[in-house]
Amino acid sequence: MAKSTDEKLSTVKSKPYTDSHLVPAVQDCRQCGEKACLYVCPAGVYEWNNDLQQLTVKFENCLECGACRIACSKHSLEWKYPNSDYGITYKLG
């Protein structure tokens, strides 16, 4: 039987850095009508807070796939790999 996406993601090891490697431009996010990052991220890293008009970034959950930076129509997401020895470790299977 094939494993579900959630089962596969549960095998991913992560060692989050203390600072975010994902830095969105606050003003651009407020003006963005699409907010594609909310929908393309397979790990649900981004959440929009309507009350604060602010994007919340849960960088610790990032799978480092880069989908968010490609989908951002304003190109306002500073995205870089975490420092050495931090981030995601994938395994085959």
The CATH number assigned to the domain holding 23 equals: 3.30.70.20
Non-local (6+) Cβ contacts of 64 within 8 A are 81, 82, 87, 88
The pLDDT, as a whole number, for residue 92 is 64
pLDDT of residue 36: 95
> How far apart are the C-alpha atoms of 46 and 30, rounded to whole Å?
14
Q: What is the rounded distance in angstroms from the CA atom of residue 46 to the CA atom of residue 44?
A: 6
Structure confidence at residue 15 as a pLDDT band (50, 70, 90): confident
Q: How many domains does the chain have?
A: 1
Q: Is pLDDT at 6 greater than 90 in this prediction?
A: no
Structural domain span for residue 83: 5-89
pLDDT in tens, 19-75: 888 999 999 999 999 999 999 999 899 999 999 999 999 998 888 889 999 999 999
Residue 86 has pLDDT above 90, yes or no: no
Indicate the burial class of 41 (C-beta count within 10 angstroms; 0-12, 13-18, 19 or more). Answer: buried
Q: Which residue has the tokens 């304003």?
A: 74
